[in-house]
Every structure is written in C-alpha cells, then in structure tokens.
A and B are shown apart, each in its own frame.
Chain A
Amino acid sequence: MDGEADGSVTVSEDSGRRRRVHGMLKLYYGLNEEGKTPEQPESLDPCDINGPHFDPELYLNKLRRECSLAELMDQETCMVKQIRSLDSDMQTLVYENYNKFISATDTIRKMKNDFKKMEDEMDCLSANMAAITDFSARISGTLQDQHTQITKLSGVHTLLRKLQFLFELPARLNKCLELQAYAQAVSSHRRARCVLQQYSHLPSFKGIQDDCHAIMDKLAQEINVVVRMDGGSSAKDLSECVELLLQLDEPAEELCDKFLSHARSRLESDLQGLEAEIRPYPSTSALKDASARRSSSAAPVGSPTDGSPKTSSLSSPSSNTDILEFIDRGCNEFVSSLCLVITSYQELFINHAQTGELASKNIPQMANGKLHAFVDDLAARYFSLVERRIQEEKGVGDNSLLVRALDRFHRRLQAVAKLLPGSAVPNQGTEIVIRAATERVKQYLCALQSFYMDSLTDVRQALATPRLSVAGASVAGGGALLGGPASGRDAPTSLPELLSSLSASILNQIKSVLASVHLFTAKDITFSNKPYFKGEFCSQGVRESLVVSFIKFLCQSSRQFCESAGDKGGSTPPALLLLLSRLCLDYETSTISYILTLTDEQFLVQHHSPVTPVTSLCAEAREAAQKLLNHYVKVQGLIISQMLRKSVETRDWVNTIEPRNVRAVMKRVVEDTTSIDVQVGLLYEEGVRKAHSSDSSKRTFSVYSSSRQQARYAASYTPSAPMDTNLLSNIHKLFSERIDIFSSVEFNKVSVMTGIIKISLKTFLECVRLRTFGRYGLQQIQVDCHYLQMYLWRFVSDENLVHFLLDEIVGSSAHRCLDPAPMEQSVIEVICERG
C-alpha cells in the first residue's frame, strides 16, 4: 500500500513539478502565490517533505522502517532527481537576480550626479529670497504713517454712516411700513435699538428713539392684524410673522395662543374634511337618495351600529372611500400639518427661547404645556374620527386593507412621537389599533360561526334533496340485504363525502381567517412589535377568543341539536346528527390539536396567561360527539319503536288468524335497521363484537326458543303450580344482567346498532305486555321474533342480548296469552324461510 501511495505522489509530482518548485521558493521567501493565502493549511506532519515541520531524521527512520530495499532505492533515485531539478531552478533564479542588481547599481550612480546639480541651484534661490524680504520691509516702513491715517479716516466714516442710519431710521421704518417689508423693518430696528438705548440721555437721540418706538408699535399692531386677519396664509408666513413679533418683545404667551389658535383653525378644517368622508353631507338631496339607495341594498350585508347619533344608522359610507384612502388622507392632511405646526412652534417658542433672554421667564415650559394640551385635544378628535371610521369596517373580506391602513395610521403617529416625546398621542393611537384588532377578531369569529351554520344548512339540504335519509336509504338497504352489499352504495355514498367536504371547508375557512389575522403580526407592520401584539393578541385574542371560541361554539351548537330536536319530533335529520357526531369525534382525535398547533406556530404564542388546554377542548368535543351519537341512537331507535308500537297497538291479537307470514312491519324493521347499519358504517368503524357462537351464523337458528323457551313455557303455564314458577322467574330476572336501554354508546358501528336495536326491542316488549293475545296472536309473535332473530343478531355486539330481549318478548306474550299453545319450531322456521 505504501507503493500505491507513493505512486500517486510521483504522478502528481511529474505533472506539476515546475509550478510547485516555484511555489516552494516563494514559500521560503514568505510570499504567497499572487498574494493569496495558502489554500490548504500547512501540514504538521514531520514526514511531509514539503511541510514546514519536516524532520529529516524522522523521515529517514520512517522510510527505513517501512520500505523495502527496492523501494528505498526508488525513493533515493526519485529524491536525487528532485534535488537536481531544484538545484538547476535555483541557479536560474540567481542569474536573473544578478542582472537586476547590476542595473540597479547603474541607476543609483546616475541619481547621485543629478542631485549635485540641484543643490547648486537651490543655494542661488535662497540668496534671491533674502533680497526680496529686505526690499519689502523697507517699503512697509515708508507707508506706515499713511496707513494709520487711513484707518482713522475709515473709522470716522463708519461712525458717520451709523449716525446717518440712525437719523434716517424713522423715515426708513416708515417706508418699510408702507411697503409692508416688516422683516426688514424689524431687523433695522433691532440693529439700532441698543445704541438708542445707550445714548438716550442725549436729546437728539431721544427724539429718534421715540419716533422709532412709535413706528414700531404701529408696526407690531399691523403685524398682529395680519396674523389675526389672514386666516389663509401658510404656516410658514405665519411663523415668520410670529417670529417678528417675538423679536419685538411681544408677550410670548399671547403669541403662543395666537399661533395655536390659528393652527387649530386650519387643522380643524382638515378634520372636517375627514368627517365629511365618514358622513356624507345630508344637504344635497341627490346624494342622500343615492346613499339611501346604496344603504338599502347593502343593508342585509350588515347594518353598522354607529356610535354617532347623528349618522343615520344605515347610511353606510364605507362605499365612499375605502379605509386606506381615508387613513391616507388623514395622515397626509391632518397628521402632516400637525407635525408641521409642532415643528414650527417648537422652533419659535421652545428652541429659540431657550437660547435667548426668554429662557429666564419659563417660556419654554409654558409653551410646551400649551403645545401638549393643543396636540392632545386635536389628536383626540382625530382619533374619534378614525375610530368611527374603523368601526364601519364590517366586511371581513380583505383584512390586508385594514391592516395596511392601521399600519399607516400607526406609522405616521410615530412622527408625532418623535417630535413630542412626552405625548400620550402615540399610546392612544396604539390603543386604537389594539381595539380595532380585537374588534376584527370578534368579527372573524362571527364570520366563522355564520359560515359554519351556513355550511350546516348546505349539508342539511344536501341530505334532504337526494333523499338520503332513512326512507330513501331503506330501499337501497333492503336491496343490500337481499342482493348483496353493492347495491346499498347507491344513495348514501355522499355521506362521507359530505363529512370530508364540510370539515375541509371549515378548516380552510379557519386557515384563511388565521392568515388574515396573521397580517396584524407581520414583520413589516409597525405595531406588530408592540408588546400587546406579541403576547396578548396572539394568546388571548387569536388563540382564545377566535380559535378556541370557535371550537367551543362548534361543540355547543352540536349539542343544541340534541336538545332542540327532542321535543318537536326530531327536526334534525338523523343523518346530520351522525355526521356531526363524526365531525366532533374527528375534532377530538386530530383536528383540534392540529388547529391549535397551527395557531401556535403561526403566532408564536407565548402563554403568559393561562390558556385553554387542548385536552379540555378535546374533552368537550368528545362529549359533544358522544351526545350526538347517543341522540342519533335515540332518534333512530324511537323511529323504529314507533313503528313497532303502532303495529302492536292497532292489531286485535285475540282474534287473529293463524300466522302464515312474517308481518310486513318486521320486514320493514329489518330493512330500516340494515339501512341504518349501512349509514353508520359509512362514518364509523365496525367495532368489536363478542365472538359468535358457531350456530348463530346459520340461517336455521335453533338457539333460543326451542330448548330454553320451550322448557319455560312448559314449566310456567301448567296450571298446577302457577305461583312457584312465577316467583322463580321473577327471582331469575332479579339476578339476570340488567339491560340499560338508553345507555351511552361507543364510537363504533356495532355499539350504535346495539343501542338502536335495544331501544326497539324494549319497546316491542313493553307494548306486548300491554296486550292480550289469543293462541294465534302468540304464534304470530313467535314467528316475528324468530324473523327478527334471524336478521338482527349480525348487527349487535352481543347476540345474547337480542336473544334475551326476544326471549322476553315471547315469554311476555305467552304470559299475556289466553290460550298459550306455542307453534312448532320447525313450522316457525319454515314460515320465516319463506318470508
């Protein structure tokens, strides 16, 4: 194996030897190939001949130890070859470098000569410079006197100019006043003010000062008038005016008020514009008509419950502009001008004042307080408008619009927050967003609930139209009984389809709602990182009040089917009960945990507060499923019971003819039971049943009346000892297993069928006990029971139950018989076979 490794090494060596040799040299001089870092980490192996840690001693030892003589020889020749090639390479390189050294020496020598020439020229230059300096000093000495004179003259000139300015000031100010160049006037006055103040003891200056004061007062008045009158002037103009007044020492407080009141009027016009969006002006009758028409057409969709009493409850202005437009307008008009007002106000009264002399008078604090009050007031009105508008968003179709609108709303308020750090406005804005979000979640819950009820109505219709229910299915079921199970598929196949489509559509709806709600917590939404949206909204809002509430609603509405249907003769089709029961069961086993996991994943719910655990929801769903299934059993059982009861009650059992056939009603019972069996089998698993006794599958059944029953007749109805046997049978019954008739059933077909058959047969039994029979009446019951026995055992979990109940029925009818002469078992069998 060593040879193999060596071979591969030599092959690669041959191919890239030159490159490598260069590489090795460069490595030696500390250079990398083209400045790059070496690609492979250096090998630490001391036996790597190319590695930096190469230890010849070790390598030699290793070779000696590991290689055979021939290999050593090969190695040696190879090594010698390599060394030789390395030597030659080195020689070439040395030659190359030698040439370069020679040329470098030449260059240096040339440079030495040139520098000597340059040095001479530099000496000459410095001599010239010294001469120039000398001359210049002499010139400035001669000009000194004239210079001082000129300076003095220019000083006098300036002073005179200033005096002239002062004397001309009143005239100039007047002119400015005429031209309405207030800014210039104020700046001129400011420049002169100090001087006039200083020299006011001189009468001439005093006159000027008085004149100026008079003019400036007039000016101030005029500016005030401008401020007051000019409602339409831009914010910038206004702030200019205010700045001028400030410079004129007008009282700042008054100015603040004026400024704010002016700003207020403009902001209010914005607000009114917004309000008009919400509530179209009722002045134009055409508009009113239009809106009335629109609202009447839109009324069934959802009448908005409006907070404002003035707004007629039905004029739904949501059709005017969508909410995004509205918020946009609010942001662009109101919020941006509010920001503008805040900035200019702060510029004027707060930042400005802090530097100037005003700071001492607590102006900034006062101004700040006023500003806060102002902003809070206006923002409150703005918020109320926004909230009204949000409340009108009833349609749950497109949530993204609302979220985007809220996002924009919230984002723009951040600007206010930045400008006005201590303000409560952003928090209020967040609260509005939160309220809107919770409201939205509520609406979604309603939408989900109504969707669920609608789909139930659809299912109900689907069940009703193709006659899936008992009557229609019974025909098919009867066919199935006689002709094999295939024909039973006909009508009720759509039951599982209905179930799957129902549960799928509910799930889809939940998913889409979750997706819509999820927009609230999207990363690019500004308010999504608020603690509320991170925590409480996810857990309490979405998980609890949306998902959990919906599941609870589902269970609860299912349970209501059991309660309402009982009294008024079963308004709910039994198939729907069965379907819902399966739905609830599916929810219990998988869907609930799936939905909740989905929610938790999507919303990264962190459960700070206690939330409804999955298990309790599952328990609730299971309870609902159980209740529905029990109710289904009860309803189906009662339908069959009713049939049996009528058949027993309406017949004259004393004067009946000798039985030749199984009564039609028994066939009907078997048919119905079969169809129910098919129906239940579509949705529920088979379930376990007790092992059949070997002869139960045989058509010619012999278990029940022949041996046991016959013996009992004989014992019971020999007139010799009536009381003893009666007592015996009573005691026997006391200790026999009690059958709970309307007991809870399990979630499988066999258990459901057992429940239904139990109820039916118990009814049969009770009805028989209320009648009196003749000989043939008893025989008819025998025939009927045998027929039932032939077909019903296959449906139940424990066939002994059917045996027992049928036994009881025959026994009771024998007891109620005037002339108890039971029919021969063989004859019964023949009649039943024929039927």
Chain B
Amino acid sequence: MEDDAPVIYGLEFQARALTAQTAETDAIRFLVGTQSLKFDNQIHIIDFDDENNIINKNVLLHQAGEIWHIGASPADKAVLTTCYNKTSDSRLVSCAAVWRMPSDWETGSHESPDDSAHNPQTLELLCRLDDSAHGNAACVLWEPMGDGKRVISLADNNALLWDLQESSTQATVSSTATLEGKGQLKFTAGKWSPHHNCSQLATANDTAIRGWDLRTMSQIYCIENAHGQLVRDLDFNPNRQYYLASCGDDCKVKFWDVRNVQEPIKTLEEHSHWVWSVRYNHSHDQLVLTASSDSRLILSNMVSISSEPFGHLVDDEELSEGEDNHQEDKDLEMRSPNKQPVNGSRGTV
C-alpha cells in the first residue's frame, strides 16, 4: 500500500462499532455498526480489495437500536453479535443479541449498489442474550478461534458465559461471574484470551484490569490502578500468552505481563487525549495500533516486547503515525463525533 491512494468510505451516520470478520478467510472484511437515535441503524459490510485498492460495501438494516459494540462469529461468517441501545417508553435499555445475515446479501449488491442503500435487507434475529436479572450489556465476546458456540457478555458488573445451541437460535447461561465491591461497579471492556485453551478472560472496570478463569469463574489476577483514569480497552498479544496491552483516559498505552502486575513492562505516551482502542496485529505482534480522541491513529512497532525480539532487524520502537490504510478512513470518523475502533486483523499492514 506504499503508493496507493487512501481508500475512503463514508457512512451516513456516526458509528462506534467496528470489527474484522475473522471467519471470512478469502477477503478482508469489516463490519461497522452505526449509531442513530432517529433512523434505522445499519450494519455496513466493507470488503477491502487490496489488489485493486478498492472497497466494496453492503448495507444491512439493524432496526433494533443504535449499535455500541459488534462482534463477528469466528466460525460462521454470517453470524454476528451486537450490543445496542433500545428506547422504549422513554426508557433506555442496553441489549445484546445474536444475528444472522440474510443468505443472499452478497448477490444483490454487485448489480446495483445504489439499490442496496435504498432498500437494504434486514438482519435475522437468532436469539437475544438477555437475562432479566442482568441488564445493560457493554460488549459481547466470541470465543477466539472457537466453533461459534460460546460467547461472553459483559453486563454491568456481571460476566455471563453463554452456550449457543441449535444453530445459535437458543442461548443459555452456563455460568456467571460477578464483580463485588463498593459502589456501582461496571465492566467497561473485556477480552477473551486466545491462550490457555481459551479459559481466561480479562476485563476492565474503572481503573482496574482483572483476569478471570472461565472454568471456575473466579478472579485470577487484578491490576489495580492500571491507568490513572478509566481503562477503555484491552488486547492480548496473539503470540505471547501472558502479555496484555491496555489503554485509557490517561492518554497512555500500557503493556503488562500478567504474571507481574506491579509495574507495566512498557508505557507509551504518544496520544494527547483518551485512547479508546488498542489492537495487536494478529500475525506480527510487534505492531500495535491505537486510536484516540485526539483524532489520531498511531501504529507502533514494539519489537522489544514482541514474540520475536530478535527476529527482524527492524528499528526498535519505531513509531509511524497515520501511515495506515485506514488512517484517512478513521480520521474522518474521528472528526465526526464517533469513535471506536480499528480492529486490524489482516487489514492493518
């Protein structure tokens, strides 16, 4: 993408939810969920063709409400989860649900892309991840590289592990973990670790990061005051099982070894405002992308704490700013008042 022109894709509405579709192995595909209080919300399916450097898009309707979080099934590329806000009787409810894309969404789009915008197809609801006892879902996490049968939803101060049955049309809570403590505790972010046979979960609430064992649903570690302010996002190093990156309102990005939670192994202070999102590149874990409300994306090359500290003769900790293909895309998004995202699987670099 050295000399390629930036690829820009505009959305009608503001958006905070974006994910890469990991089950899709042929194409580079992202899902974006929009936020609009007054109109029907949409899910944009964006295919990036890196050979021709063009974008193909499709739009599906998500009529249930504005999307705050989106997650794609690792096994079935037609299945996804969203967390959304729904207003009913002047009350605001946060819900989570599993959806299936209509089977023929791909066919119509190529013929007349304009049509799809005007008359988009609607998502098919598979099941709701609602439990009357636990409201306000913050995010839904798929089991990494799993068979698409297990998800975790974080709702207020609970982490719920769901089993999806009968081709995802039915969901039952198999176990729960609850965060106890003073005041109103609330999970703000979480990540399902791909290591340890997918038996660990990391969550963030306020300034603390906690690790959970999913087999016993008990806490295994806790990083108090991981950030000076709210922790906004987490990500596991895909290749080093104990390494974790976090970011937050103190404008910092920190890297942790969860075996020693006293001190971060590295801290980056490149952003000048809240850092909303942090992601490792899935295959080259020295590459870390962060997004901030200072309207900047920063791609950091952290060779010294990667899984191959000596593997590549790349300059250590070289920072490149805004060289990413999504930069322009994102910059526009940043300037429009919506924030989230950047999930780079194959998309980044």
Is the A/B pair a real complex?
yes
Chain A positions near chain B (C-beta within 8 angstroms): 566-570, 638, 641-642, 645, 650, 652, 654-655, 719, 722-723, 726-727, 730, 733-734, 738, 740-743, 762-763, 766, 769, 772, 774, 812, 815-818
Contact B37 A734 (CB under 8 A): no
Chain A residues with CB below 8 A from B115, complex form: none
CB distance from B338 to the nearest CB of A (A): 8
Chain A residues with CB below 8 A from B274, complex form: 766
Would you list which residues of chain B between 251 and 296 have a CB under 8 Å from chain A? Answer: 251-252, 272-274, 293-295
Is B336 located at the chain interface by the 8 A CB criterion?
yes
Is B208 located at the chain interface by the 8 A CB criterion?
no
Looking at B74-82, B85-93, B142-150, B197-205, the stretch in contact with chain A turns out to be B85-93
A-B contact count (CB 8 A): 73
Query: Could you name 17 residue pairs across A and B whose Cβ atoms are closer than 8 Å?
Result: A567-B227, A567-B228, A569-B225, A638-B228, A641-B249, A642-B229, A655-B90, A726-B12, A726-B13, A726-B336, A730-B336, A734-B332, A741-B294, A743-B272, A774-B90, A815-B337, A817-B37
Is B310 located at the chain interface by the 8 A CB criterion?
no
Contact B39 A722 (CB under 8 A): yes
A220 to B48, CA, bound (A): 116
Contact B250 A730 (CB under 8 A): no
Chain B residues with CB below 8 A from A638, complex form: 228-229, 250
Nearest A residue (CB) for B87: A818
Contact B293 A723 (CB under 8 A): no
Contact A818 B335 (CB under 8 A): no
CB distance from A676 to the nearest CB of B (A): 19
Q: Which 3 A-B pairs have the closest CB atoms?
A: A742-B272, A730-B336, A741-B273
A482 to B9, CA, bound (A): 52
Contact A742 B251 (CB under 8 A): yes
A817 to B36, CA, bound (A): 10
Chain B residues with CB below 8 A from A766, complex form: 274, 293
Contact A742 B90 (CB under 8 A): no
CB distance from A49 to the nearest CB of B (A): 97
Contact B228 A772 (CB under 8 A): no
CB distance from B144 to the nearest CB of A (A): 27
A727 to B339, CA, bound (A): 16
A652 to B184, CA, bound (A): 14
- Which residue of the partner chain, among B12, B91, B249, contacts A655 with CB atoms under 8 Å? B91
Chain A residues with CB below 8 A from B293, complex form: 762, 766
Is B38 located at the chain interface by the 8 A CB criterion?
yes
Chain B residues with CB below 8 A from A817, complex form: 37
Given contacts A769-B337, A772-B87, whether A741 and B38 have CB atoms under 8 Å apart is no
Chain A CB within 10 A, most for which of B13, B37, B85, B338: B37
- Which residue of the partner chain, among B10, B38, B229, B251, contacts A719 with CB atoms under 8 Å? B38
Chain B positions near chain A (C-beta within 8 angstroms): 10, 12-14, 37-39, 85, 87, 90-92, 184, 225, 227-230, 249-252, 272-274, 293-295, 332, 335-339
Nearest A residue (CB) for B273: A741
CB distance from B62 to the nearest CB of A (A): 17
Chain B residues with CB below 8 A from A762, complex form: 273, 293
Given known contacts A726-B12, A733-B335, A762-B273, what 19 new A-B pairs fall within 8 Å (CB)? A567-B225, A567-B227, A568-B225, A569-B225, A569-B228, A645-B230, A650-B184, A655-B91, A722-B38, A722-B39, A738-B295, A740-B272, A741-B294, A742-B251, A762-B293, A769-B339, A812-B337, A815-B337, A818-B87
Chain A CB within 10 A, most for which of B10, B39, B229, B332: B229
Chain A residues with CB below 8 A from B295, complex form: 738
A762 to B227, CA, bound (A): 19
A652 to B93, CA, bound (A): 12
Contact A654 B37 (CB under 8 A): no
Contact A772 B92 (CB under 8 A): yes
A15 to B197, CA, bound (A): 129
A719 to B14, CA, bound (A): 16
- Which residue of the partner chain, among A645, A723, A742, A772, contacts B273 with CB atoms under 8 Å? A742
A618 to B35, CA, bound (A): 52
A733 to B335, CA, bound (A): 7
Chain B residues with CB below 8 A from A772, complex form: 37, 85, 87, 92
Chain B residues with CB below 8 A from A650, complex form: 184
Nearest A residue (CB) for B269: A566
Chain B CB within 10 A, most for which of A645, A762, A766: A766
Contact B87 A654 (CB under 8 A): yes
Nearest B residue (CB) for A654: B92
Chain B CB within 10 A, most for which of A638, A654, A742: A742
CB distance from A512 to the nearest CB of B (A): 40
Nearest B residue (CB) for A732: B335
CB distance from A644 to the nearest CB of B (A): 12
A567 to B37, CA, bound (A): 37
Contact B37 A730 (CB under 8 A): no
A743 to B85, CA, bound (A): 35
A742 to B14, CA, bound (A): 25
CB distance from A609 to the nearest CB of B (A): 34
CB distance from B339 to the nearest CB of A (A): 8
Chain A residues with CB below 8 A from B332, complex form: 730, 734
- Which residue of the partner chain, among A566, A727, A769, A818, contacts B228 with CB atoms under 8 Å? A566
Chain B residues with CB below 8 A from A655, complex form: 90-91
A772 to B36, CA, bound (A): 11
CB distance from A770 to the nearest CB of B (A): 9
CB distance from A650 to the nearest CB of B (A): 8
A650 to B225, CA, bound (A): 21
A568 to B262, CA, bound (A): 11
A722 to B38, CA, bound (A): 10
Chain B residues with CB below 8 A from A719, complex form: 38
Chain B residues with CB below 8 A from A726, complex form: 12-13, 336
Chain B residues with CB below 8 A from A742, complex form: 251, 272-273, 294
A774 to B87, CA, bound (A): 11
